[in-house]
Structure 1
Amino acid sequence: MKGLMPRDGRVGGGWLTLFAVAWLAVWTVQLTPVQLLLPLQLDTPGGENDWITGVIWSGLILSVGGMAGVIAGPLAGLLSDRTRSRWGRRRPWAIGGSVLSAASLVLTGTVSEPLAVGAAWVGVSIGVAVVSAALTAMIADQVFAQRGTASAFVSSAQAVGIVVGVGAVVLLGLSVAASYIMLAGLILVIGVGTAVLLPDPQPASTRKIAKENWRERMGALQDRSFVWVLASRLTVNIGNALGTALLLFFLLYGVGSPAATAEDDLLLLIVIYTIFVVAASLIAGSLSDRTGKRKPIVIIAALIQALSAVMILISPTFIGTAIAAAVMGVGYGAYMAVSLALATDLLPKASHHARDLGIVNVSASLGQLLGPLLGAGLVALVGGFWLLFLAAGILSVLGAVMTLGVRPAAALPQPHRAAH
């Protein structure tokens, strides 16, 4: 692990590779059920003529899980900031979250009733939130000159994770139960393994943390710019979730894809989306590191995502959806990479890194998990999908407008600032 330790605010290829692999596992186990397994479990619980009921159950379950993650992420971050152990600060939480995720995934695959599925999924959401809080804090703890690049690995892994998970299920012909077992093994092995291998240095000061007044406890939430970033990430992620989380239902009942080929069509769209997310996030993240200008990239990226929703409204066909998936990938990939780096630049105090970044994670995760609930309501309201994509476009534009309120730090953080 010594060879992986950062030097002068920079990390090497080995650190970035392990970090990316860890996030790949996290996103795979979180998004494969969201995109495929949960809709399969919950589709038409009232019969083939009652497909909207399945949409509503999916939205409710994902949103309840999201609320659990909202609580667990910042709480785990706060506790990890205060953890002082021979194993480090972040590592114990990353390992514990991985184990909880694995156990909950196995349980989710053994039940079929919507309420039971929802209860098991809450455990998955909590476990993933805990791991995510620990991993994201490592960016603020150890990375300074490459924050845009490191953040790009997070968003790239999100897109690749969907392909890995859905691809494995579809191409291997796995049952729902077998798919959950596969995901549980993935997070158990990779989550624990990368947590052990990634360095987790103790903070520069090992003194007992002094009591803070209420204003100090607010941390980055005192910064209006930080709050605008949170609001923008929540809004843009709701817009993204409206366009992606109910995609299998859209293919079946909006585009009219045959049930026998709908899963294959879904996989193809995900692959297209992924290619553009990865390319856009890496390019945008690197560009923001070189120029130090993150805010303009974030605004443009959110507007590009809005354009993809307009394209589907104009052409709600499989070809039109495929082109829109590419455009959405460009916008979302660039947005997520650079907005995370922008939020990290605004953190005022190293002792609050994990808690503050846990809140940043929540702003995105909550958006992704509130989106299906809102989307289910919009679909049920009009008996179709046009209002869903209209709302997705409007929210993406609103997220871009919110970013105008951000006043970035005058300069990118330097390594010595971490000890403050």
Structure 2
Amino acid sequence: MAVNPPDQVAQRSALDEPTRSPGGRWLTSWTLGHFAFFMVMFAAAQVVLPRQAEAISPDHKEAVVSVVTLVAALCTIVANIVVGAYSDRTLARRGRRQIWVLVGAVITIAGLLIQGHQQTVVGMVAIWALVQVGLSSISAALTAALPDEVPVTERARVSSLWGIASAAGPLIGIALVSTVATGIVSAYLVLAVFTVLFAFPFALWTRGVPLTPAERPTTSFRTMVAGTIAPLKHADFAWAWTGRFFIQLSNALAQVYLWFFLRDRVGVDPDLWTLYLALLYTGGAVAAAIPAGRISDRTGRRKMLVVVSSVLQGIAAIFYMAWPTTWAAIVGSLLLGIGFGCYAAVDQALITQVLPSAQDRGKDLGVINIANNLPYVFAGVMGGAVLTFFGRDDWGYPVLYALSLITALLAALTVQPIKSVR
């Protein structure tokens, strides 16, 4: 239950493939860091930001959420690439990634404390964009730490912890802001406190293999821009990126407007029912993630389980699309959680096996993280446009969830051409 011993760290380069598990403390801290990211991201996006948008502009709340989501996601895309690239080049003695988790946590905490006091749309958009920069730094550094420190034969199992964090983090956050911190200011304050508790352990209590000056890649703006496109020239990486984009778009379309769907179409308390559905989603994801990770590591097969998870997400969308009732929302959320839990464990491991270069792991995973975050731009804009054009009381939500179904099936198709992973 300790970090790598000094003699082990010294025996290999930061660019070598790891061969030994990083230990219990590292795994726990790494998982908690992801808890911080997902808790803040989804609790705010699904509950607090819609609540704040309604308080600031009740007649245009969906449009405000769309703008907030669009600007924040664009900032996230840039931050993921920049942090990934510079963490690849960091010469800190504790390792390349830890300092960036710390910086990201500090920015996130400051932004959350300021966000609760915003009374204008401009202020809400600007400060949430800052929070996203901080969250992106945490996420980019933690994601890059996986191939740095975890052997290939254990990555799906470890990625299942990421899957659990991606499901349980939002649940914890949504529970807190729906039942305890029900005000806007208090909600952001609670999220800031938990960012300290969950993100700081990895930044302060773990070590990675430090990069030496001789191993450090060259750094220039031109190199960074070129490096953003370069990995997409590798077919397997490009297909993996595309599959990640579509599965995340499907998930985002299913969840970004869930709060409004529950209120406008199902006719229930959106705060309370978002919490209920998050609980079911989490239960499904936790139940699926660890078994899927173990099966994938044991068999070496990744693609089949990604297809299964994509199809399950598509089936979940059918329940939301066809039956705007509480029972359909319950079944849909459970299936969505099972599908995403299976996907989270296996696809994350698959991605680390198609990275073109060990030297640029952080930057290349930053490019992959575009496929995690860009879908929320599309989901916010597409959802707002669909609900505006078709109406909230007519075809708007069925069309929205039909798009979630289509993108889930596209995700299942795009993983098939990957050749270097079974």
What TM-score, normalized by structure 2, do the two folds share? 0.90
Letter in 2 for 1:346: V
Paired residue for 2:303, among 279, 295, 309? 295
The answer as to 2:282 corresponding to 1:274 is yes
CA distance in 1, matches of 2:230, 2:361: 9
- Corresponding position of 2:399: 387
The answer as to 2:74 corresponding to 1:67 is yes
- Corresponding position of 1:418: none
Q: Deviations over 1:41-100 (max 9, x none)?
A: 1127554xx3xx211211221121011000000111100101112343111111101100
CA distance in 2, matches of 1:131, 1:173: 24
- Corresponding position of 2:260: 249
The answer as to 2:106 corresponding to 1:99 is yes
Letter in 2 for 1:320: A
State the shift of 1:312 in Å: 1.8
Structure 2, unpaired ranges of 5+: 9-17
State the shift of 1:268 in Å: 0.4
Once the two structures are overlaid, the 10-residue window that deviates more, 217-226 or 175-184, is 217-226
CA distance in 2, matches of 1:329, 1:2: 32
Once the two structures are overlaid, the 10-residue window that deviates more, 170-179 or 268-277, is 170-179
Paired residue for 1:38, among 45, 49, 62? 49
Structure 1, unpaired ranges of 5+: 411-420
- Corresponding position of 1:320: 328
Is the 1:66–1:370 Cα contact (8 Å) retained in structure 2?
Answer: no
- How many residues matched? 402
- Corresponding position of 1:415: none
Letter in 2 for 1:171: T
Write the mapping of 1:193-208 to structure 2, written as runs, cut at 5 A: 193-203=201-211, 206-207=213-214
State the shift of 1:404 in Å: 1.5
Is the 1:28–1:162 Cα contact (8 Å) retained in structure 2?
Answer: yes
Paired residue for 2:413, among 378, 401, 415? 401
Letter in 1 for 2:119: S
The answer as to 2:169 corresponding to 1:161 is yes
CA distance in 1, matches of 2:164, 2:367: 20
- Corresponding position of 2:122: 115
Q: Deviations over 1:228-273 (max 9, x none)?
A: 111111111111111111111001101111xxx3311111011001
Is the 2:105–2:200 Cα contact (8 Å) retained in structure 1?
Answer: yes
- Corresponding position of 1:350: 358
Q: Deviations over 1:164-187 (max 9, x none)?
A: 111112222431101101111221
Is the 2:57–2:64 Cα contact (8 Å) retained in structure 1?
Answer: no
State the shift of 1:2 in Å: 5.6
Paired residue for 1:180, among 173, 188, 204? 188
Secondary structure of the 1:404 match is coil
- Corresponding position of 2:65: 58
Q: Deviations over 1:198-252 (max 9, x none)?
A: 222114x541536599799455333111111111111111111111111110011
Is the 1:275–1:329 Cα contact (8 Å) retained in structure 2?
Answer: yes
Is the 1:2–1:199 Cα contact (8 Å) retained in structure 2?
Answer: no
- Corresponding position of 1:146: 154
Q: Output the aligned Cα RMSD.
A: 2.2
Aligned-pair identity in percent equals 27
- Corresponding position of 1:416: none
